[in-house]
Amino acid sequence: MSQAIPSECAVSGIGAPEYEFIRKTVYEQSGINLGAEKKALVAARITKRLRALKLPDFDIYCEYLRSSKGKGELPFLVEAISTNHTYFFRESRHFDFLREIAIPKWRESGRSSIRIWSAAGSSGEEPFTIAITLAEALGFQSDWHVFATDISMRMLDLGRSAIYGADRMSHVPVEFQRRYFQRGVGASEGQFRVKEEIRRRVEFAQINLLQPNYAFGTEFDAIFCRNVMIYFDRESQQGLIDKISPHVLAGGYLMIGHSESLNGLRHDFQIVEPSVYQK
């Protein structure tokens, strides 16, 4: 299709028509709304895809996306654009809320099973933090489960491996590191793996949150959908809430990012505290 480009060779800059096509494609596939100010960032991130495919410029890359083979590239495009910065116990107030308020209420109500969905679980830090919080409060004899989804197969594979560098562990209490992680030795020194008793309580699956519907056979006691809507325009935010809401049990909770809000959206939740809502 095109000549290979040496790794040291610079890819030519992205033009306005190519950027507009990529911007619309990303929006259609993920709901991420890229403004004009993101052009340089998008070009830098997609350059890696051009090199991987041995394509010389963005015009050829757009042609590839339009071709019959381009469908297979779409997940890689969205993944290149998406931000996957996370770590254990990020935005820790949500886990405090689980431990101090939600879980005690569920126990008092006599619930026999707890189901929580980490809707943008990325590489697993969030769902495993939820699982650790549940394990601390309920133990392993209780029936609880965490369902973790993401649009990126690469992130899901990282989550399934459950192996993390020390930089992701800085917010994990030392006693939790001992209790719920295996510390690497030898060639794996500096790495941590989530112990099996936690891993088997977390199920990973690929879901695009903007797909028409979610094929769940259950409703959830709580859904974590954090730092997702911040990348969406108002229409996509409303569509996301409309899709998520039916999957929250009456009395269940929705956790969103601390910089996000449901203000201005139609929904059937009541705010409990900033970024925590109850159906």
Give, as one character, the DSSP assignment of residue 55. -
Q: Is 45 a catalytic residue?
A: yes
Contacts of 193 (CB under 8 A, 6+ apart): 161, 162, 163, 164, 181, 182, 184
Q: How many CB atoms lie within 10 A of CB 34?
A: 18
Q: Which among 150, 201, 221, 226 is annotated as catalytic?
A: 150
3-state secondary structure of 85: coil
Integer Cα distance of 98 and 161 in angstroms: 25
Q: Are 32 and 26 in contact (CB under 8 A)?
A: yes
- Output the CA–CA distances (angstroms, integers) from residue 266 to 194, 227, 240, in the order listed: 39, 19, 11
Q: Is 111 a catalytic residue?
A: no
Catalytic residues: 45, 150
